[in-house]
Amino acid sequence: MKEEYGIVTTEIIEELQEIVGAKNVIFEDKEKLENYAADEAGEIFGHLPEAVVKPDSTEQVSKIMQLANRNKIPVTPRAAGSGLAGAAIPLYGGIVLSMERMNKILDIDKVNRVAVVEPGVITNELCLKVLDEGLMYAGYPMSIETSFISGNVATNAGGGKVIKYGNTRRHILGLEVVLPTGEVIELGGKFRKDTWGYNLLHLMIGSEGTLGIFTKIILNLVPCAGRTVDLLVPFGDIETAVNTVADIIVSAGIIPVAVEFMDKLSVDLTTKYLNTKIAFQDKAEAYLIIQLESESKEGLENLYEKVGEICLNNDALDVFVAESRTDSENIWKVRQEFAEGLRAADPYASLSGDVVVPLSKVPEMMREIKRISEKYNMRIPTAAHIADGNLHPELMKPANVSVEEWPKIAEEIYDEMTDIAIRLGGAGSGEHGIGFIKKPIFLKTKLEAELNLMRGIKKIFDPNFILNPGKII
């Protein structure tokens, strides 16, 4: 496909500089271009763009896309680059369209309970801003402190709070979108329901920058949560931990804000990185981090006592209740720094692993992960948003595999895991997306009729196939 695309000439660069200003175009500076060549999937998957352009308005994005479409130059939209499936990697060179300058919170509308933001707003900054107004944005990916809102929307990001509040899709009310041709459309708005034609808004969410570029996002806000408490619960084996989650949610009818899982290896790697230890680290094979909320102190105490009792009845080694904000931060830091701990131990670790299975199938999926680790003589630390069956088995490069061989081997292993997840009634990704790393297995596991519909949609939106080419389909 690459030979069908135009190249970024000095004339194109001059036009781009006229649109956004010379200082907002990077060209022929390899060191700076390399900052936009890869995402968190790792530098081993990186590809250098020909140019990076940083617009600051919808009008500028529209003009850039018109120029690129006329000249058939590939454009890769980029948010914070915190994705793990290679969706922000410019496989065909061309232009990386960075949204970093479009970073304003435009409106917090307390009457309609919405926030209107530009695409480059960092998720955590929005969360803190609306909290000052007594409201909450409930979208909560684990990359909350680094990810942009637009990246969350592009991948339909999930995270720790999905079990109670749902993934990003539930929180998006409207989008302003620049199409690959440069046309601008507005989808949805400050309302929460409609039956007004095909729902293009939801088609855009999770499209990974292949159908349009988000330049304005309208987000649903909810009243602030009540009091919260965090529990750290170690278990002697993985299956018991999973069964405990089922007992809390199904048998007791309690919906936690979050239930996170970490196996022993993931805890060991992260605590080493943080230079700390947590309880029962010499005995526990699995940990649950459980967050609960209630409107009253008494209600919260009753809730965590009930959950603690369920855990102990399921042979938990102990139940630790965070007694302060510092305790809670220390508990969550072990989970949130999982990727950093893994990278510190192995800079070539592949972090694009993300599968989802029904909760009842988690123990079987974990056994399969263990079998694969033994088969390939490799370490596979696993963390999970366990309550919704979303597992993150991450691959550490074996010593006998070269850096050059590793990407292909890692992809083959992820394909094997994905096949297993689908056989167990799940899917190949719960939140990281497809990008290009999971594209081969995605194409293999979908019916041709479904793929043809997707290809038809892509062609209608992007007739010259310039927008994020090589991703998904």
Judgement on whether residues 304 and 403 belong to the same structural domain of the protein: no
Encode pLDDT of 261-305 as tens digits.
Answer: 999 999 999 999 999 999 999 999 999 999 999 989 999 999 999
Sheet holding 51-53, edge to edge: 25-27, 51-53, 95-98, 75-78
Q: Which domain holds residue 322?
A: 227-340
Q: Is the dihedral of CA 304, 306, 309, 315 positive or negative?
A: negative
- Among the candidates 193, 223, 253, a domain finishes at 223
Judgement on whether residues 398 and 427 belong to the same structural domain of the protein: yes
| Mean local confidence (pLDDT), 48-69 | 98
**Of residues 140 and 318, which shows the higher confidence score?**
318
> What CATH number is attached to the domain comprising 308?
3.30.70.2190
| Mean local confidence (pLDDT), 219-245 | 93
> What CATH number is attached to the domain comprising 217?
3.30.465.10
pLDDT at 235: 97
Judgement on whether residues 244 and 275 belong to the same structural domain of the protein: yes
| Mean local confidence (pLDDT), 403-408 | 89
Residue 193 lies in a domain: yes
Residue 288 lies in a domain: yes
For residue 110, is pLDDT > 50? yes
Residue 29 lies in a domain: no
* 143, 149, 150, 153: CA torsion to nearest 10: 80
Angle at 141 between CA 136 and CA 143, to 5 degrees: 115
Judgement on whether residues 205 and 231 belong to the same structural domain of the protein: no
Residue 55 lies in a domain: no
CA–CA distance, 127 with 146 (Å, rounded to integer)? 12
Angle at 340 between CA 386 and CA 268, to 5 degrees: 65
Residue 92 lies in a domain: no
The model scores a pTM over 0.95: no
Judgement on whether residues 172 and 145 belong to the same structural domain of the protein: yes
> What is the 3-class SS of 409-458, one letter each residue?
HHHHHHHHHHHHHHHCCCECCCCCCCCCCCHHHHHHHCCHHHHHHHHHHH
| Mean local confidence (pLDDT), 430-448 | 90
Judgement on whether residues 258 and 180 belong to the same structural domain of the protein: no
| Mean local confidence (pLDDT), 155-181 | 92
Residue 462 lies in a domain: no
Residue 407: exposure state from Cβ atoms within 10 A (0-12, 13-18, ≥19): middle
CA–CA distance, 219 with 190 (Å, rounded to integer)? 8
For residue 218, is pLDDT > 80? yes
Residue 123 lies in a domain: yes
Judgement on whether residues 240 and 189 belong to the same structural domain of the protein: no
- Among the candidates 223, 251, 267, a domain finishes at 223
Quote the radius of gyration of the chain (alpha carbons, Å). 23
Query: What value does the mean pLDDT of the chain take?
Result: 94
State the number of CA atoms in the 13 A half-sphere of 247 facing the CB. 17
Angle at 283 between CA 275 and CA 267, to 5 degrees: 35
Six-digit token string for 343: 């990278």
351 band by pLDDT with thresholds 50, 70 and 90: confident
Judgement on whether residues 138 and 164 belong to the same structural domain of the protein: yes
| Mean local confidence (pLDDT), 134-143 | 83
| Mean local confidence (pLDDT), 132-148 | 84
Query: Quick one: DSSP state of residue 247?
Result: I
Q: Which residue has the tokens 């630790």?
A: 320
93 band by pLDDT with thresholds 50, 70 and 90: very high
Judgement on whether residues 218 and 232 belong to the same structural domain of the protein: no
Residue 416 lies in a domain: yes
- Among the candidates 273, 308, 340, a domain finishes at 340
Judgement on whether residues 251 and 301 belong to the same structural domain of the protein: yes
> What CATH number is attached to the domain comprising 423?
3.30.70.2740
Q: Which of 120-124, 222-226, 390-394, 443-447 has the lowest mean pLDDT?
A: 222-226
For residue 213, is pLDDT > 70? yes
Judgement on whether residues 125 and 210 belong to the same structural domain of the protein: yes
1 band by pLDDT with thresholds 50, 70 and 90: very low
Torsion angles phi and psi, residue 142, rounded to 5: -65, -20
Run of H or E residues at 98: strand 95-98
Q: Count up the domains in the chain and report the number.
A: 3
| Mean local confidence (pLDDT), 330-344 | 93
40 band by pLDDT with thresholds 50, 70 and 90: confident
Judgement on whether residues 207 and 120 belong to the same structural domain of the protein: yes
| Mean local confidence (pLDDT), 307-318 | 97
